[in-house]
Amino acid sequence: MKIVVLDGYTENPGDLSWGALEALGELTVYDRTSLTDEAEIIERIGDAEAVYTNKTPITRRVIDACPKMGFIGVLATGYNVVDYVYAREKNLPVCNIPTYGTAAVGQFAIAMLLEICHHVAHHSDAVHQGRWESNADWCFWDYPLIELADKTMGIIGFGRIGQQTGRIAKAMGMQILAYDSFENDSGRAIGTYVDLDTLLSQSDVIALHCPLFPETQGIINRETIAKMKDGVILLNNSRGPLIVEQDLADALNSGKVYAAGLDVVSTEPIRGDNPLLQAKNCIITPHISWAPKESRQRIMDCAVSNLQAYQNGAPVNVVN
């Protein structure tokens, strides 16, 4: 079996091994493939039966041009880069990685929140610049320092990752509100399910952990921000298009939203004209919540298991 990985660098920049996948067939790994040049994508797939992608699009045209392709593996949970509906029509299974970064993504959401509350990096830089050494007092701070105990975190999207973030926040003494279409007992053990308007109006911190669907696109916008507390903190390390970015930038600049911690934006890599780049109190990181080595190893392990299951005639984690 010929196996092609179209864009393997972000999954494995060199600290993991492709060996387990290589054992399943003749493997070719490309660090990067054009996201827009379908001819290059088609050429690189060639007569491979198994194809892995992270962000490289597998379109209808690509599927038609590569008739030997029998398996599409996505090196991520999201699979919108594949025309999975057409793939189903062609009896072509699309298999994703359903869970791998729950701990890492929840941890990162809290890391952004703690940075907003304490500005650890800023104050460390200030010390190294000599500002503490020359300070008239025995301590100083440049930003308000925020204690989270007894404050309320509202989590929009209370699945595995949302609940993990909730567990950590609860351990810090926060009260947890949750909004999700599917309520369950594990969620009730962490927080209280409420409607969206209640969550918006009562939360001191709002964390987004919901998938990107038509009904959630732009869920944070001028109207929903108006329902929030003045000085709310917003966190998003789920999907960038959940937020109308100009509306959030306006709210940050006016002070309605005190601060935002964002690991995702609407277009990635970020465009230089993104209004959030110039907004006040806005932390933006380059989509790295998922990227600890431990999480990426789980992706690798699941990617191998998915192909093994396909080879055994019983595909798993099929999204189409």
Question: So which residues are the catalytic ones?
Answer: 239, 268, 287
- Is the omega angle on the peptide bond into residue 98 within 30 degrees of 0, that is, cis? no
Q: Residue 317 in contact with residue 293, Cβ under 8 Å?
A: no
Q: Angle, to 10 degrees, between the axis of helix 160-171 and the axis of helix 102-118?
A: 40
On the 0-12 / 13-18 / 19+ scale of CB atoms within 10 A, 271 is: exposed
Among candidates 143, 146, 164, which has minimal Cα distance to 155? 164
Distance CA 4, CA 46 (A): 9
Secondary structure percentages of the chain, helix, strand, coil, to 5: 35, 15, 50
